[in-house]
Structure 1
Amino acid sequence: MQRLGTGIGWRPEIADAVERMPGVDWVEVVAENVCPAHLPESLRRLRERGVTVVPHGVSLGLGGAERPDEGRLRALAERAEALGAPLVTEHIAFVRAGGPLTASDRLEAGHLLPVPRTRDGLDVLCENVRIAQEALPVPLAVENIAALLSWPDEELTEGQFLYELADRTGVRLLIDVANLHTNHVNQGEDPAKALAELPLEAIAYVHVAGGFERDGVWHDSHAHPVPRPVLDILTDLASRVRPPGVLLERDENFPDPAELEHELEAIREAVLRGGAGDEKLGGGVRRSVNAGGVNRSDSGGGVRRSVSGGGAEGDGMRGAEDTGADGVGPRDGGGRVGPREGEAARDTRGARQRLALGQTALLSALVAGTPAPQGFDRVRLGVQARALAAKRADVVAKVAPELPVVLGSGYRAAFLAYAQRHPMRGGYRRDAMEFVESLLLAGRPQDAAARRELRAWWRERSGPAPRHHRPAVRAARAARRVLLGR
């Protein structure tokens, strides 16, 4: 695995500061926020200086019940090629549900939601990861996410789930230590136990980020300084293996560049305190896996494993002599990591159907107000539902900044009222359009000048009316005439 070093998440708001920041070896960019044909000049300059740029996807939904969308995979591949990236990354999460598998309307979360750590969830995720690996021109790494809630009747711990995923697919892991801290506070999960169970030789790099605690719930905000407990988990990880790269994530509420530099230095110091030598990164970790978890001992040899009771049937866990140079699986001619031998193809149709029903019921409860599925913590569901609605309001305000200006202080209350009745069924830009449509069709806002501004905004962004005569289309055209003021 390529040594990346210390990096920071590239965002337009801090682009100039990142270019001037000393000691930045690489950057990560949200894949969906860049156009391959029109890369930001700041990223072009960084690449010309030899700074590695890694695209980080947020919308693929590899943990969803459906197979990955071919168009989204093509878009991710295009960004990897345009940026000359050594790998691409995504999340172990689902972001949408419904559709053909459940014969229901498709719902969008607008957020990364946790996958159930069950055999069904693992089988579907493994197949989706393999599909993505085949479609991408460079290796894929997947990230553990932060969760406000957990699924009932889970069969695996986070460490076991990630271990089997990496072993069955050869996928690399992006370990977010801030998310391990989040799950410790919110779910009582032990970060040290999760790290002990991970296939450390599969780690591509590490995320570090800040958050805040409110009413006993940790919110992974990416808008606050990195707290000491997160740095301590990074030190624990670095005591087990020297990570190929560590990256600071900050998405909003950006501080002065000097404060970001101070956080980067704290991250370097946390890794140094861990003190893992280069020989450990090269594969000097020997494991014995049993039903109770991972027993770890260090040696100077390659990665060797024996399994009894803890792995899936038929999983061929092999030694480093049978894998690629970094010990994470065989490679094809393009340097991509493939599944291990002995991993048989599985029929996931039943698993996909069951997973689809569960994920749709959960997402519907979160965004459409349907009853909570059995076994879920209703209090936590309420926290998550409010967080999703608040995020929708915040992101719509960013993609359509004119709306908070026109609506003033009433924007947020109006949007949250809209969100309670209208689940998101497309992207955030469509969400903004439908929000404005709902206001105008209801004769709001009361101020005539504000209504005129909103109508003009909507007209500039709406397409031509369809030429059909079905009743639903005639109703839509009637609504359009209202919106156009005709």
Structure 2
Amino acid sequence: MPTSLAPFSGFGLGLRPPHYEAILASPQPVDFFEIISENFMIDGGRPLLVLDRVRADYPVAMHGVSMSLGSPDGPGTDYLRRLHALMTRIDPLWVSDHLCWTGVNGRNSHDLLPLPLTEEAMATVCRHIDRVQTFLQRPLLIENPSTYVTFAEDTYTEWGFLSELCRRTGCYLLLDLNNVFVSAHNHGFSAQTYLNGLPLERVRQMHLAGHSQGETLLIDTHDAPVPDGVWALWTEVAPRLSHAAVMIERDDEIPPLSELLSELDTARRLASDVVYA
């Protein structure tokens, strides 16, 4: 299995159906697009035709939501075969998924569920990452989750858990700054401590997104513009992550493409201001 993954320092967007027509109609000022892998793990149809046309003009990253690395069973063989087929079709920048579990006994909750940060969970996740990386013959990127509960059994911090995953499996990281902001607020830890505890040299991609205010917790809804607090984290960490790609992530209340391109311009400008200051 390849043990290294070359950096790619572009600025991108998620490929979403409301924007298909505009993206295909004319070149867009983006360096890459990210897809939700499961939306394209199909035998045919318009989504794959659109993806083929987009891939002819832009690099593409694959981002999954159903690998369930924290569940006892992990991803099924059929899932991995379909994922591998899509990967072979488009030759992505990388393949990523989340530090979470999504189901058990063949049932998918369609939610990114938290797992206890224990040595038992570490062994389970490492076993599944090793299996997937061997199957795909490439390293995975693992995304930090947004969480709303912790477990009394936890023996790792989340940043310590992710760091150890990288050390044991050779995986890389997808750093979601909105998730760091949300979890730091919900659990009362320092976002700066979290970022300082990660092996930032293993980060290959970042997400910038928005969230919603619940009664007491922040909720990772991906349905709003990037807020000031997340932009502030981006400004802080950008000088140390010039080797990584960054994208604006929006999954609900999707605005016109022009609005997301404006946010992407803000990400570029803030990065330039702090890197070249």
TM-score (ref. length: structure 1) = 0.53
**CA deviation map 1:418-473 (0-9, x unaligned):** xxxxxxxxxxxxxxxxxxxxxxxxxxxxxxxxxxxxxxxxxxxxxxxxxxxxxxxx
- SS of corresponding position for 2:33: strand
Partner letter of residue 33 of structure 2? V
Match of 1:88 among 82, 89, 95: 95
Structure 1 match to 2:71 = 64
Unaligned runs of 5+ in 2: 1-5
Equivalent position of 2:54 in the other structure: 46
SS across alignment from 1:40: helix
Give, in whole Å, the separation in 2 of the partners of 1:35 and 1:70: 14
1:259 CA displacement: 1.3
Partner of 2:3: none
Q: Deviations over 1:21-66 (max 9, x none)?
A: 63211001111111454353332222222x0111211111011122
Q: In the alignment, what sits opposite 1:172?
A: 172
Structure 1 residues 215-246: Cα deviation after superposition (integer angstroms, max 9, x where no partner):
12111111111101111112222132314200
Contact 2:7–2:244 at 8 Å: present in 1 too? yes
Query: Counterparts of 1:47-446 in structure 2 under 5 Å?
Result: 47-49=55-57, 51-97=58-104, 99=105, 108-275=108-275
Q: Which secondary structure does the structure 1 equivalent of 2:146 belong to?
A: coil
In the TM superposition, what is the alpha-carbon distance from 1:270 to its structure 2 partner? 2.9
Q: Encode CA deviations 1:142-172: one digit per residue, 9 max, x unaligned.
A: 1111112222231111111111100111001
Rounded to whole Å, the distance in 1 between the matches of 2:66 and 2:276 is: 34
Q: Retained in 2: the 8 A contact 1:8–1:249? A: yes
Give the partner amino acid of 2:237: L
Preserved contact between residue 67 and residue 74 of structure 2 (Cα < 8 Å): no
Corresponding residue for 1:17? 22
User: Which of 1 and 2 has greater Rg?
Assistant: 1
Q: Is the 8 A contact 2:12 2:246 kept in 1?
A: yes
Question: Aligned partners of 1:107 and 1:258: how far apart in 2?
Answer: 38
Q: d(CA) in 2 for partners of 1:192 and 1:276?
A: 22
Please state how far the C-alpha of 1:79 moved relative to its aligned partner. 1.1
Following the alignment from structure 2 to structure 1, what is the Cα–Cα distance between the partners of residues 91 and 43? Answer: 13
Q: CA deviation at 1:247?
A: 1.1
DSSP-derived class of the 2:78 partner: helix
- For residues 238 and 168 of structure 2, the distance between their equivalents in structure 1, rounded to whole angstroms, comes to 25
Counterpart amino acid of residue 171 in structure 1: C
Q: Which residue of 2 aligns with 1:5?
A: 10
How big is each residue's C-alpha offset from its partner over 1:115-139, in whole Å with a ceiling of 9 and x where there is no partner? 2111111111111110110011433
Over 3 Å counting, the alpha-carbon distance change for 1:158 and 1:130 in structure 2 is same
2:267 counterpart SS class: helix
**Counterpart residue type for residue 88 of structure 1:** V
Name 1:314's counterpart in structure 2.
none
The gaps in structure 1 that reach 5 residues or longer are 100-105, 278-486
Asked if structure 2 preserves the Cα contact closer than 8 Å seen for 1:159 and 1:194, the reply is yes
Q: Deviations over 1:306-355 (max 9, x none)?
A: xxxxxxxxxxxxxxxxxxxxxxxxxxxxxxxxxxxxxxxxxxxxxxxxxx
RMSD: 1.9
1:203–1:244: 8 Å Cα contact kept in structure 2? yes
State the secondary structure of the residue aligned to 2:222.
coil
- Alignment counterpart, residue 32 of structure 1, candidates 10, 18, 38: 38
Alignment of 1:463-478 (within 5 A): none
- Aligned equivalents of 1:130 and 1:94: distance in 2? 16
Matches of 2:23 and 2:250 in 1, distance apart? Answer: 12
SS in 1 for 2:251: coil
Shift of 1:107: 5.0
Find the aligned partners of 1:134 and 1:261 in 2 and give their Cα distance: 37
Identity %: 30
Partner Cα distance (2:13, 2:247) in 1: 5
Relative to 1, partners in 2 of residues 1:34 and 1:107: Cα closer, same or farther, differing over 3 Å?
Answer: closer
Paired position in structure 2 for 1:358: none
Cα gap change, 1:18 to 1:137, in 2 (>3 Å):
farther
Q: 1:138 to 1:86 in 2, by over 3 A?
A: farther
Q: Note the C-alpha offset of 1:274.
A: 3.7
Q: Deviations over 1:176-224 (max 9, x none)?
A: 0010011012111221111111111111111111111121211111111
- Cα gap change, 1:36 to 1:267, in 2 (>3 Å): same
Residues 237 and 274 of structure 1 are in contact (CA less than 8 Å); yes or no, is this contact kept in structure 2?
no
CA separation in 2, counterparts of 1:11 and 1:241?
Answer: 26
